[in-house]
Structure formats: structure tokens, C-alpha cells
């Protein structure tokens, strides 16, 4: 009864927000039930729709983008995100599909770091070639919690504000971290993600979103024929455990060079050491930019549909992951379309600070201190040609 009452209240609030604008505005936010977690917490799905008919479904479990509809060159909308149609599969089978990750997105070597003279030990929940790491916030990162949510409309932009408080000691991290993440689907066919956080004690923070894209459409083929451009002349090489060596290396003359459009599958072979370490691309690129400015990080073009995605961000780096392990961990993942996701059928472009920054003094700092504000934005734009 409590969940039904809560859902009714949320639905009323969402419809009230949508209907409060003038009749000429068709941007809307609606809410529906998306089931319950295994421990009985209600999960809700917020559907954001802009005036052009684009829509994004965002659920409160993990702050996850479940569905994202984007136009092809003929104006036909198609879902371009890998994911599931039920919360149970997200709990049991998801390789971070579409979710918010933190406190620290990406890897921290051996799950250990030192800060202000104190040593901290985090959960070790990832291993590559028997080299252990803390990944994406640990055993129960922000992808596995139910966020509080409120629908919003800003002008012609439809959105949802998500909030979560991570207590001191959560997954081994120091300090209470108070977060607000705002998703906006804009009138310009952009999905904007704004991250805001404060802390009462110094702590590493590196929040990002882990959407898996396939611009052909969810469940349709692999991503090897997508053309990727990265605004990055350098990257951070990794060792056998996918932990950065600390070096910032030029991409020129290597398979890591996407400074001009390249098909993802063109040089994605194990005859290069860095590609072999990750079973494909799973690396951080150092973006060409001034610290803190909003600038273009990436563009992806899919020639059969004409879909184009751009990524703008304030972050200094971007992790390009080519879906190398989608069918390599023994878990069968059947997506929303009923198709089993196979090797390299989705890719991620995760805007971020560099992996293992707490242990790499020459990388930009990820330490947030009391009195400071973590404030960063990433915008995914969609068009066709």
C-alpha cells in the first residue's frame, strides 16, 4: 500500500509539472513503477520527452538511463542504449549498464590509497590477469542504490533530479558525501548530466555515467563499424591489470589515435600491447582542453543509420570502452529487444578524471575537501547526417 501511495503521489507531481507550462510546450516528465529491488525497495522510471519527440527513461535504481531514443537520418527514433526491461536483471546481470558510478568511477590499484597521512582500504571487486583493483565504487557503489528523485521542467527541457547521501566509511571511503545529479533532455536533442557533491571530510570523488551505446540500435549488430573521433592527443597507458602506469603518452602512430575519424574495429587487434591488456579498448584519453572548460571530447558516427553522437564535458579525461567483456564472463544478458548481447555490441564513453588518480601524483587531483563543491557537467548530443 505504501508503495502504491508513493507512486500515485509521484505521478501526480510529475504530471503537474508537465501541465504547468503553456499548451505550445510539449516537453513532459512522467513516472511509472519499475518494480522492486530484492530487498523490497520501490523503483520508479522517469520518462523525459522533449518537444521533438526524443525521450529518455531513467530509473531510480542506480540513477540508470534505461532507454534513450535518438533519430536516424530519416527521422525515425530508435533506442540506442543497451539495458534490460526489469530491475531484477539490472541487479543480477548488469555490467554497469547506463548507471551512475562512484564514489570513484574506474579503477584504484589494489583498492588502496593514502590521504592526509591516513591509509584507506577499499573493496577489491575487479581483477584482470590476477591483478586486483577497486572498480566503480566497490561492492555496492552508487549503481546499486535507489536514489531519491524529483521531476523538473526548465523552460523546454525535461528532467529529473536525483539525490543520494553516502555515509562516512561507505565502501571504505572517508567522509559523508552529499550528491545531486540532474538529468535534462533538452530542446536541442541533448542529454545533459550535471553532477554536484559536497563532503564533510576529504575524500576522492570521480562520478560518471556508464551508458553502453550502439547507434545502429540496441541489439543490432556490433559497434566495429562506428566511426569514433576523440579530441585527445595523449592517453594514459596501462599495465597488465588495466592500472595506469603514470605515464601520459602520445597517441600518434598507435591504435589509440582517434584524432581523426576511425572505425572502432579498424585497429582493435591484440597485436598491440595496450589492446592486448584490455582485450580491446578500455583506456583513458587525456582531453585537449583547459581545465574546467566545457569542450568537445568525442564524436561518433554510425554510417548505416546516419546517427551522430557528440560528447561535451568539463572533465579532463574520457574512458573509451569497447564492450570487450559483454559475453566473456559467463553471464548471458538478454536485452530489451530480446536479443542476447554479444562481444562488442556496445561501447562506453565515460567522462571522468583519470583512473587511479589517488595513487598517481602527476594526474589531476580527485580529492574533494570540506568547503569545496564538486561541480561538473557532461552533455551527450544527438543528430543525424
The 3-state DSSP class for residue 379 equals: strand
CB-based contacts of 253: which residues, under 8 Å, 6+ apart?
none
The answer, yes or no, to whether the previous bond of 103 is cis (omega within 30 of 0) is yes
Whether 142 contacts 276, CB under 8 Å:
no
| Catalytic, out of 134, 210, 283, 353 | 210
Cell of 88: 531484477
For CA atoms 229, 68, 48, 206, give the dihedral sign: negative
Distances (CA, A) of 258 to 98, 191, 207, 232, 373: 24, 23, 24, 8, 33
Residue 123 backbone phi and psi in degrees, to 5 = -65, 140
The 3-state DSSP class for residue 26 equals: coil
**Cα–Cα distance for residue pair 346/214, rounded to 1 Å:** 5
- Tell me whether residue 283 is one of the annotated catalytic residues: no
| Catalytic, out of 171, 299, 315, 350 | 350
- Tell me whether residue 190 is one of the annotated catalytic residues: no
Count Cβ atoms within 10 A of the Cβ of residue 93 and give its class: 0-12 exposed, 13-18 middle, 19 or more buried.
middle
**Cα–Cα distance for residue pair 321/316, rounded to 1 Å:** 17
**Cα–Cα distance for residue pair 304/321, rounded to 1 Å:** 22
Active-site residue set? 210, 350
Amino acid at each position: 500500500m505504501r508503495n502504491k501511495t508513493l507512486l500515485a503521489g509521484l505521478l501526480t507531481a510529475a504530471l503537474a509539472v508537465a501541465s504547468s507550462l503553456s499548451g505550445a510546450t510539449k516537453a513532459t516528465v512522467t513516472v511509472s513503477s519499475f518494480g522492486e529491488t530484492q530487498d523490497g525497495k520501490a523503483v520508479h522510471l522517469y520518462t523525459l520527452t522533449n518537444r521533438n519527440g526524443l525521450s529518455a527513461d531513467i530509473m531510480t535504481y542506480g540513477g540508470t538511463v534505461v532507454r534513450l531514443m535518438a533519430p536516424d537520418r530519416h527521422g525515425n527514433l530508435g533506442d540506442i542504449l543497451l539495458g534490460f526491461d526489469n530491475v531484477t536483471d539490472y541487479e543480477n546481470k548488469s555490467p554497469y549498464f547506463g548507471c551512475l558510478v562512484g564514489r570513484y568511477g574506474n579503477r584504484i590499484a589494489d583498492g588502496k590509497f593514502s590521504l592526509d597521512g591516513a591509509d584507506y582500504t577499499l573493496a577489491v571487486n575487479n581483477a584482470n590477469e590476477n591483478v586486483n583493483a577497486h572498480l566503480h565504487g566497490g561492492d555496492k557503489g552508487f549503481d546499486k542504490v535507489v536514489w531519491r528523485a524529483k521531476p523538473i521542467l526548465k523552460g523546454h527541457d525535461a528532467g529529473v533530479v536525483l539525490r543520494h547521501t553516502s555515509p562516512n566509511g561507505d565502501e571504505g571511503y572517508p567522509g559523508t558525501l552529499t550528491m545531486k545529479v540532474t538529468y535534462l533532455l533538452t530542446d536541442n536533442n541533448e542529454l545533459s548530466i550535471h553532477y554536484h557533491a559536497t563532503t564533510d571530510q576529504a575524500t576522492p570523488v570521480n562520478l560518471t555515467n556508464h551508458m553502453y551505446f550502439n547507434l545502429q540500435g540496441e541489439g543490432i549488430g556490433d559497434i566495429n563499424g562506428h566511426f569514433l573521433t576523440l579530441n585527445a592527443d595523449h592517453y594514459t597507458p596501462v599495465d597488465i591489470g588495466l592500472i595506469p602506469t603514470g605515464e601520459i603518452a602520445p597517441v600518434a602512430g598507435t591504435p589509440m589515435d582517434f584524432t581523426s575519424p576511425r572505425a572502432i574495429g579498424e585497429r582493435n587487434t591484440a597485436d598491440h600491447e595496450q589492446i592486448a591488456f584490455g582485450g580491446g579498448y578500455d583506456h583513458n584519453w587525456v582531453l585537449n582542453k583547459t581545465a574546467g572548460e566545457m569542450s568537445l571530447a568525442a564524436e561518433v558516427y554510425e554510417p548505416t543509420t546516419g546517427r551522430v553522437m557528440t560528447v561535451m564535458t568539463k572533465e579532463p579525461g574520457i574512458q573509451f570502452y569497447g564492450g570487450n567483456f559483454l559475453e566473456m564472463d559467463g553471464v548471458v544478458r538478454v536485452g530489451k529487444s530480446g536479443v542476447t548481447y554479444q562481444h562488442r555490441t556496445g561501447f562506453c564513453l565515460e567522462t571522468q578524471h583519470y583512473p587511479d588518480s589517488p595513487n598517481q601524483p602527476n594526474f589531476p587531483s580527485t580529492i574533494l575537501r570540506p568547503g569545496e563543491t564538486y561541480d561538473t557537467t557532461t552533455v551527450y548530443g544527438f543528430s543525424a547526417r
